[in-house]
């Protein structure tokens, strides 16, 4: 063995894997586990209510021989799941148990225990199980769990050639705010793209100005495990969304938005936990902006955010797509017509400066939602809709 080969072997041994066995298991993995091989993504949280510290997301690939690889977020913390000599493969009965850990080759700390059960029949294309905070300490003693979260994930069954996802397309997603006092009154928003292979890519802004994003996969029944870690891992946005053709939406579900307490923050220092009903709509781009929005005479309404009363500004869309301010107030508006996003600015005597707003348009509702920030740092709501 050459010096270079010896060095590479030593380096691989000193690079400690971030996953270790929860229990020593002995026994061969089944060669028939091809029925469950593939990519799975899902969520876990306590069944009696989602708590940020006890909830998260997982993305796992199962090889033909039962070995796992991927990653997980738990309470905003990131863990790799590596295939290595510390990991146990999926057993003959579709069961696997392992620990999420961090450390080095000579020292590691176990954080969580994961147990998963894969469906060997291939009928549901799902994995179920639990994640808890039980672990073994440095003396090898077992420390019991103080909480347990249920896990549910779905296999990605879509392929662009043989089984394309019927949900493929571009969507706009709106995430409502809260009471406007302890929580932002504005609406967050995102652009969502689903490709024919079932991959979902989301990119947006919450109503407090926090950017968020995710890349995951779609379940065969149209469910989406939405999770994004926020505020340096101290907060999150989590919940199941479903794609379905409804009268006023193509995408909907309940999300939990958790923002931590921060005494240095300009606003919302006490933090909040806000359960919101998110809603989305497929967005079909059109070079004619009026046809894309479904109207040519509209009104933008601004409320909360420190305003004494709602402010309305009217506008008109010409045949060439130009937006004309017809309100008599200082007001600008522009659209990214390929994505269904809008932004602009308005002025109001109660504020010392012009205020920037932004948001997304839901084609099925013929209405747009977004947010702006007042001088007090509070988030206000902006809506766009046809003029009465």
pLDDT digits (tens, 9 = 90+) for 232-267: 999 999 999 999 999 999 999 999 999 999 988 888
Q: Which of 41, 96, 105, 97 has the alpha carbon at shortest distance from 73?
A: 41
Q: Where in the chain are the domains? A: 3-155, 169-282, 289-386
pLDDT recorded at residue 7:
35
291 Rama sector, left if φ>0, alpha if ψ -120 to 50, beta otherwise: alpha
Yes or no: is domain 169-282 CATH 2.40.128? yes
pLDDT at res. 11: 39
pLDDT at position 143, please? 83
* H-only helix segments in 256-357: 289-293
Of the pLDDT bands very low, low, confident and very high (cuts 50, 70, 90), residue 22 is very low
Distant-in-sequence, close-in-space partners of 208: CB < 8 Å, separation ≥ 6: 184, 259, 267, 268, 379
Nearest to 361 by CA among 380, 339, 377: 339
pLDDT, tens digit, 9 for 90 and up, residues 74-132: 999 999 998 665 567 888 889 999 988 877 556 677 789 999 999 988 899 999 999 99
> Would you mind telling me the total number of residues written for the chain in this entry?
388
Q: Are 316 and 334 in contact (CB under 8 A)?
A: no
Fold of 3-155: Porin (2.40.160)
- Judge whether residue 29 has pLDDT over 70: no
Distance CA 93, CA 225 (A): 26
Which residues lie below 8 Å from residue 156, measured CB to CB, with a gap of 6+? 38, 39, 40, 41, 197, 198, 217, 218
Beta-sheet pairing, 148-155 with 199-205? unpaired
* CA nearest neighbour of 114 among 58, 157, 161, 197: 58
pLDDT of amino acid 154: 98
* CB of 204 closer than 8 Å to CB of 213: yes
Percent of the chain clearing pLDDT 70 (strictly above): 88
DSSP result, 88-131? PPP-TTSEEEEEEEEE-SS-EEEEEEEEEEE-TTSSS-EEEEEE
Domains 3-155 and 289-386 in one fold: no
Q: What is the pLDDT of residue 31?
A: 52
- Residue 292: DSSP 8-state: H
Residue (of 8, 6, 129) closest to 72 by Cα position: 129
Distance from C-alpha of 115 to C-alpha of 95, rounded to nearest angstrom: 7
Which range, of 3-7, 51-55, 205-209, 286-290, averages the lowest pLDDT? 3-7
Per-residue confidence band for 148, with pLDDT thresholds at 50, 70 and 90: very high
pLDDT (0 to 100) of residue 93:
87
% of residues, the chain, pLDDT over 90: 71
The dotted CATH code for 289-386 is 2.40.128
Strands 95-103, 108-118: pairing is antiparallel
Under a CB-based contact definition with an 8 Å cutoff, are residues 66 and 38 in contact?
no
pTM of the predicted model as reported, rounded to 2 decimal places: 0.89
DSSP three-state, residue 303: strand
| Spatial contact of 200 and 215, defined as CB atoms under 8 Å apart | yes
**pLDDT tens, residue by residue, 346-372:** 987 656 578 999 999 999 999 999 999
Is-contact 184 382, C-beta < 8 A? no
């Amino acid at each position: 063995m050459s010096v270079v080969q010896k060095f590479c072997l030593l380096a691989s041994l000193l690079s400690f894997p971030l996953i270790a066995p929860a229990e020593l298991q002995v026994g061969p993995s089944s060669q028939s586990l091809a029925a469950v091989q593939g990519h799975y993504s899902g969520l876990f949280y306590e069944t009696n209510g989602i708590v940020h510290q006890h909830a998260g997301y997982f993305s796992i690939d199962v090889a033909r021989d039962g070995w796992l690889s991927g990653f997980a977020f738990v309470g905003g913390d990131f863990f790799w799941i590596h295939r290595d000599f510390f990991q146990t493969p999926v057993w003959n009965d579709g069961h696997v148990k392992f620990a999420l850990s961090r450390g080095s080759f000579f020292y590691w700390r176990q954080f969580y225990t994961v147990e998963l059960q894969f469906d060997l029949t291939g009928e549901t294309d799902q994995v179920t199980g639990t994640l808890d905070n039980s672990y073994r300490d440095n003396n090898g003693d077992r420390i019991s769990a103080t909480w347990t979260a249920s896990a549910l994930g779905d296999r990605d069954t879509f392929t662009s050639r043989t089984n394309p996802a019927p949900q493929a397309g571009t969507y706009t997603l709106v995430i409502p705010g809260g009471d406007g006092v302890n929580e932002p009154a504005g609406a967050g928003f995102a652009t969502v793209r689903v490709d024919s292979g079932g991959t979902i890519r989301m990119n947006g802004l919450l109503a407090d100005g926090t950017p968020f994003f995710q890349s995951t996969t779609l379940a065969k029944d149209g469910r989406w495990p939405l999770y994004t870690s926020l505020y340096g891992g101290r907060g999150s946005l989590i919940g199941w969304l479903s794609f379905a053709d409804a009268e006023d939406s193509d995408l909907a579900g309940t999300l939990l938005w958790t923002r931590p307490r921060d005494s240095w923050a300009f606003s919302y220092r006490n933090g909040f936990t806000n359960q919101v009903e998110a809603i989305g709509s497929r967005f079909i781009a059109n070079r004619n902006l009026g046809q894309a929005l479904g109207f040519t005479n509209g009104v933008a309404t601004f409320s909360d955010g420190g305003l004494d009363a709602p402010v309305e500004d009217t506008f008109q869309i010409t045949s060439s797509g130009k937006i004309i301010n017809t309100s008599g107030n200082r007001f600008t508006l522009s659209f990214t017509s390929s994505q269904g996003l809008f932004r602009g600015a308005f002025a109001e005597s109660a504020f010392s400066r012009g205020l920037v707003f932004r948001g997304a348009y839901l084609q099925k509702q013929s209405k747009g939602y977004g947010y702006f920030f007042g001088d007090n740092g509070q988030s206000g709501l902006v809506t766009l809709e046809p003029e009465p």
